[in-house]
Structure formats: C-alpha cells, structure tokens
Structure 1
Amino acid sequence: MRPSFGEILTCGIAGREHRGETRLLRIVISESAYLIWKLRNERVIGAKGDASNREIENRWLNTINNRLSIDCLLTNTKKYGGKSIRKSLVLETWRKVLMNEDRLPRDWTRESGGVLVGVG
C-alpha cells in the first residue's frame, strides 16, 4: 500500500478506530513523515548533506522504538489514571513487529530490558 500525500497529511485524524493494525499504520506513517521532514531540514537548512541509507534506517528504527517505549509508559494507570492507554491496545498495536516476540512474556509492557521493533 502506498499512501497518497493527503492520506499522509491526515493520518492523525483519518480512521479514528483504535484497532491495533490501524493504529500501528498511523504511527508508522506519522513518525516516518516527521523523520523525512527533519532529514530534509537538516539537508537544506542545516547544510548537512544527504544522510546515508544506514543512517536513515537507524534513525527510523530509533524513532519507532522510542514510540514503542512511550506507548509502554503510557499504560501506567497509577501515573496517568483514566488518560492511560489500555495495555491490550498497546499489545495489539505492536503484535507481529517485535524482535524475538515468541520469547517475550505475555505482557511485555513492563519489561525493564526493553522491547525492540525489528526489521526483516
């Protein structure tokens, strides 16, 4: 699936259903678009030059893993009360994209070692 420019710009408001796959798609599109914008600004405004493919891939993985960490933190009902995210939503959102997912505990949102998104 290749999103149109309009779908990229409206990904935060379009399809407000909160199913895992839909939510993951919105996260990936919005975070990727923001990273592209930052890379472009670094190249054009900061005169940094083109980023290598390896740098872009590493920055994208870091961006998505940071978002995963934020999702895990936001499941804390003691800290965020009614504004917290349901653990089941986070588990459903990130299902099938985690490294070594088959070795993770059923509820990995509180793992101190961290959980990473994998590419491959």
Structure 2
Amino acid sequence: MACTAIKRGDVGTTRLFRILVSESAFLIWRLRCERVIQEKDLASAREIHNRWLKTINNRLGLDGYGKKAIKKSLVLKTWQRVLKNERNLPKNWIWEAEVLVGIG
C-alpha cells in the first residue's frame, strides 16, 4: 500500500510505477504461498518471468474494458514506451486484446 504514496515524474509514470510495484509484490507473495503452504518446488527464473509478464499484461488489459475503463489519455501516458512493437500498434490499441508489454 505504501507504493501509492510515491510519485515518479508525470501522472503516467507514477501510475505505471505503482502498478509494477504492487503487482510484483503480489506475485512474490503468491509464489511464496505456493512454496510454503502448498509445498511446491521453488519456481524457476523462466517461470517467474513468464508469470510476471502474464500478470502485467492482464493488468494492461483491465485498463480498456467495460465500465471500469479509464480515460484513454491516462492509459496512453501509463503504458507508453513499455509496449511490445509500440510503433506498429493501431491507433485504437487500447481496445485490442493482443497488445503486450515487452521487455528489452
């Protein structure tokens, strides 16, 4: 909850930072619960990477759907420079299901 108190540059950068911190912390907690409570093996780096990407991509998908959709300008400010093949995306990418966060 403390990540909501942190401000990083403009509103989009701050929002992206908050999303990344909170979703990453929640994934770490889930991984720990799986290992300790469910007694699963330690997750591999590849599995953690893939689950993190899926988590962030699912979060990106929440921004453009239904009644809970936020303003298009805020979505654009939040996710700019972190989308895979951003230059080749259609103008209405917010409502496309195939937009993915990329690393690299």
TM-score w.r.t. length of structure 2: 0.90
Matched, 1:63 2:40: no
Offset of residue 11 of structure 1: 1.0
Which residues of 2 match residues 72-111 of structure 1 at below 5 A? 72-73=64-65, 76=66, 80=67, 84-111=69-96
CA contact (8 A) 2:23 2:55 kept: yes
Among 14, 18, 26, the residue aligned to 1:26: 18
Unaligned segments of structure 2, at least 5 residues: none
- Counterpart AA for 1:98: L
For 2:13 and 2:91, how far apart are their aligned partners in 1?
18
- C-alpha separation in 2, matches of 1:107 and 1:11: 30
Following superposition, the deviation at residue 30 of structure 1 comes to 0.1
CA distance, structure 2, for counterparts of residue 91 and residue 25 of structure 1: 14
How many residue pairs match? The answer is: 103
Q: C-alpha distance in 1, partners of 2:24/2:55?
A: 8
Of structures 1 and 2, the larger Rg is shown by: 1
CA RMSD of aligned residues (A): 1.9
Q: Distance in 2 between matches of 1:107 and 1:19?
A: 21
Of 41, 56, 59 in structure 1, the residue corresponding to residue 33 of structure 2 is 41
Determine the structure 2 residue equivalent to 1:118.
Answer: 102
Distance in 2 separating the partners of 1:115 and 1:92: 15
Which deviations, in whole Å up to 9, do the C-alpha atoms of 1:55-99 show, x marking residues without a partner? Answer: 0000000000000000121xx4xxx2xx64111100110000000
- Partners of 1:109 and 1:32 in 2: how far apart? 22
Q: Which moved more, 1:61-70 or 1:100-109?
A: 100-109
Greater per-residue helix proportion: 2
| TM-score normalised by length of structure 1 | 0.78
Q: Runs of at least 4 residues of structure 1 off by over 3 A?
A: 15-18
Q: State the Cα distance separating 1:115 from its structure 2 match.
A: 0.3
Paired-residue identity, %: 58
